Amino acid sequence: MAESGAHRVVALAIDESEHSDNAFHWYCEHIYKEGDYLLLIHVPETYDFTMASPAVVEQLLKELEERVDNLEKKYREKLLARRISGKFRTASGKPGEKIVSVARDERATLIITGTRGLGKFRRTILGSVSDYIVHHSNVPVLVCRWKSPEDTKS
């Protein structure tokens, strides 16, 4: 749970993508208020280990743990540099479901997520974490759709 005295808890769904970096930056520049408590939520990729040897499973899990540790360190440094209080949480399972669940458990008043900008066809086939969050969250959701200057040129 967030520190007592924080006037609002903002949940930010993060992964290793540039979209997460952009969402963090956008939050800091446009939404952050002194006293905010930033809840960084990461749901690592899951793997099907049914056909893998124990050595392969061990190696994949070690690599995954290193990636999560590096991501946590990166965002802790970002929080320190901006003097924002908060914490890093991980959860296992379907990303959209877990982000909504952790945000609810931590009493977040807003969820922010980036978007990979999947096309309509890919989003229909693959699903979208941001779509899931928008439709299942009990608090407002901000989806940061980032377009580079090159993307906005006609």
**Using one digit for the tens of pLDDT, what is the confidence trace for 85-127?**
999 999 999 999 999 999 999 999 999 998 765 555 544 544 5
Query: What is the crossing angle of helices 54-82 and 18-30, to 10°?
Result: 20
Token representation of residue 73: 């360190």
Q: Residue 136 pLDDT more than 60?
A: yes
In 3-state terms, what secondary structure has residue 90? strand
pLDDT tens digits, one per residue of 22-42:
999 999 999 999 999 999 999
SS3 content of the chain, % helix, strand, coil (to 5): 45, 20, 35
Could you list the beta-strand ranges (E) of the chain. Answer: 8-13, 36-42, 85-90, 110-114, 141-144
